[in-house]
Structure formats: C-alpha cells, structure tokens
Amino acid sequence: MNTLTVILMLGMAAFHPVHVSYTNIDISPENGEVNLVCKFYTDDLKLLFYHVYDREIALDPESELTTGEIALVGNHLLGSFFVK
C-alpha cells in the first residue's frame, strides 16, 4: 500500500507545474532607500483574482489593464504585504 501511494504521488508531481513567485527587498545603507521587487507568474495572478475577487484580468503584454484592474492589483498587493 505504501509503495502504491509513493508511485501515485510521484506520478502526480510529474504532471503538476511548479511556479515560484518571490519578493526581494534591498535596503541601501548609503541613503536608506528601500527597493521592493515582486515577481509573479501571470497564470497564478489570473487564478488568484478569479478565485478571490471573482474577476478575470487579462495579464498579457499586448493588452493594457484598466484603471479598475490596476487599482485591484495595487490594493491586493498593499493589503498582502507590510513592512514591520
């Protein structure tokens, strides 16, 4: 039974895509400037906004975001991260 479970888990892992988003914070000791860089996969963000906000957002380089979509993304990011 344990061998079958391991085989099934490995098989499922082979078909599941791995997405890694990250946030990088750099603080300049010279001037105290803080740079925050967030990298997200567009498919992950589309899925997030669909499930959390029930909104479909076109996140592709060939189309512009509406003012409402920009506000939605900005509000989500500002509400999800804080510096303590």
Domain ranges of the chain: 19-80
Task: Give the whole-angstrom CA distance, residue 44 versus residue 50.
Answer: 10
Give residue 8's pLDDT: 64
Single pTM value for the model:
0.57
Position with higher pLDDT, 26 vs 83: 26
- C-alpha 31/C-alpha 28 separation (Å) is 6
What sign for the dihedral angle of Cα 72, 75, 79, 83? positive
- CA separation for the pair 69, 49 (Å, rounded): 10
Q: What is the pLDDT of residue 30?
A: 93
Q: What is the predicted pLDDT for the residue at 23?
A: 84
CB 41 within 8 A of CB 19: yes
Query: What is the chain's length?
Result: 84
The predicted-structure confidence for 22-65, as pLDDT tens digits, reads as follows 888 899 999 989 888 888 888 888 888 898 889 888 887 788 88
Say yes or no to pLDDT of 70 above 60. Answer: yes
Q: Is the pLDDT of residue 1 over 60?
A: no
Supply the pLDDT for residue 17: 67
Contact (Cβ atoms closer than 8 angstroms) between residue 34 and residue 26: yes
